[in-house]
Amino acid sequence: MNKQKIITVNKDSKLMKEEDLMLVREEIKAGVGDEDPVIVDSSIFELLTIDDLPTEHVEITTGSVSDNDVLTLDWDGVIFREGDRIKVVVRCDEYSKFWWKSLGLQYYMCAFILSVETRQVETGDIKVVDHYNDDGIWISLSYVIDIPEIKNLGEALLYAKQLDRELKRPADELVKKVDEVFKKDIREREKRFWRATDLKEPQSAGEVDA
């Protein structure tokens, strides 16, 4: 399949024409055996079900093409069929060069990975499939979700994204706690600075009279 070719449908209609659906199925099936996933337009993706996927292994993802033909993926992951179940692979790639959270990248990813591995042991509906740590410069984690009793691909993707947010919540809570500690420490240092000088401490935005 041409990865830049995104099939579109009438956006004013909630139903896809049968001939359009057949074309989508053919394009998806043509991707069987490819290393790269088949990219399906977002407006079509939410209309597809597991029955629109071939029984052979093929990975699909969702994206869109702008008016100037720029392809943008909606998320970093893929969906595939395994028997009568939908599986979603969620990927998380983080680079220290672009990491600006107060909690260090390695600590954040450690908390996130621990959350994923705990769910894997306790619930068994997810499984880590890849984990790489390049000395903290680049940390990657991929895990697959076994989607329960959902046949619509759009609903399956929403389920996966929600679960991913839940799994990241412990790490995000750590970030908030570190932020609070840093803010308190910085405020105390500022007070000490102004007390040590003859300068008047400037008013904060909330203290300035209207």
**Residue 151, SS3 per DSSP:** coil
User: Can you name the residues that pair with 152 across neighbouring β-strands?
Assistant: 49
Amino acid at the residue 82: E
The encoded tokens of residue 125 equal 């509906």
Whether residue 167 contacts residue 125, with contact meaning beta carbons closer than 8 Å, is answered with no
Q: What is the pLDDT of residue 13?
A: 45
Whether residue 190 contacts residue 203, with contact meaning beta carbons closer than 8 Å, is answered with no
Walk along the chain (210 residues) and give the pLDDT tens digit of each residue: 444 445 455 544 444 566 777 888 888 888 898 888 888 888 788 889 999 999 999 999 988 877 777 788 888 899 999 999 999 999 999 998 888 888 889 999 999 999 999 999 999 999 999 988 888 789 999 999 999 999 999 999 999 999 999 999 999 999 999 988 888 877 777 777 777 776 666 665 444 444
Cβ-proximal residues to 139 (8 Å cutoff; 6+ apart), any chain:
93, 94, 105, 106, 109, 132, 133
Whether residue 47 contacts residue 16, with contact meaning beta carbons closer than 8 Å, is answered with yes
- Surface-to-core class of residue 56, CB atoms within 10 Å of its CB (0-12 exposed, 13-18 middle, 19+ buried): exposed
User: How far out from the chain centre does Cα 154 lie?
Assistant: 14
